Amino acid sequence: MKNNIILDLLYPKHITCNICSNDIFEKENNGICSECQKTLPKIVGQVCFGCGMPIHSIDRYCDLCKKSKPYEMARSCYEYKDNIVTLIHNFKFHNARYLAEDFAKDLYNLYKEKKYDCDIIVPVPMTENRLKFRGYNQAGLLANELAKLLNLPVDEQNLLKVKDTKSQVGLDFSERKNNLLDAFKTKDKKFFKGKKVLIVDDIFTTGATIECCAKALKKGLASEVFAITIAHTVKGFDKKD
């Protein structure tokens, strides 16, 4: 306990809200106040059984998921719009790493709600070049915080992104998949054998990234692959790389 107090003094947590800039007094939050938390566009109601996108039809699957996918199921906490766009932007590009703890609580709740039951957590990897340039992998931060809450191991060594890819902005699903072709591979061929793997990322856009990671994991003999992300792109908010 004493150590925590000293650490808090050395590294004070962000104390203003990323959305409204008011001071945050709640001990449990780092970067968003409880009032703004309530405004986030949580996904409720019917979603595609495969990718978790909100759908308003009698179909169980969206058009993209009607073909079989290399992962069992993907789910997201929020629609990628409104305040969540600001939060994720700060998290990825403005060094607001402390938001990982806040987001991990949302991911944890979703994991429990969906009754996921995985053996290991794997963040969507970055290439070494990209990691050097960016300084951190936001998916890795999320995976580590979520792993603490779920008491599961994280692995960041055995699923690798081995190819730098062009920005995905403006590309559709098949262009994204082509762009990502052979971008991911597993290192130790036996590491994922028979494991139920949870892929963690910040945004689910077309699902091409998750799909390519899942393919590599299945090639590495993972028995099942699930995915969890903070936000799922909705039409008109296609801004992710």
Among 33, 100, 110, 183, binds Zn ion (CB under 5 A): 33
Q: Tell me whether residue 48 or residue 171 sits nearer to Zn ion (CB atom).
A: 48
Residue 217's nearest CA partner among 229, 209, 225 is 225
Examine residue 74 and tell whether it contacts Zn ion (CB under 5 A): no
Among 65, 150, 154, 213, binds Zn ion (CB under 5 A): 65
Stretch that binds Zn ion, among 18-26, 116-124, 128-136, 170-178 (CB under 5 A): 18-26
Minimum distance from residue 233 beta carbon to Zn ion (Å): 12
**Cα–Cα distances in angstroms (integers) from residue 95 to residues 47, 91, 125, 141, in the given order:** 32, 6, 18, 11
Q: What are phi and psi of 99, to 5 degrees?
A: -65, -20
CB-side exposure of 80: number of CA atoms within 13 Å?
23
Contact 186, 222 (CB under 8 A): no
Minimum distance from residue 237 beta carbon to Zn ion (Å): 17
Q: What x-and-dash track marks residues 34-63 binding Zn ion by CB under 5 A?
A: --x-----------x-xx----------x-
Examine residue 20 and tell whether it contacts Zn ion (CB under 5 A): yes
Task: Determine whether 31 is exposed, middle or buried from the number of CB atoms within 10 Å of its CB (0-12, 13-18, 19+).
Answer: buried
Residues of the shown chain interacting with Zn ion in the complex, contacts defined by CB under 5 A:
17, 19-20, 33, 36, 48, 50-51, 62, 65
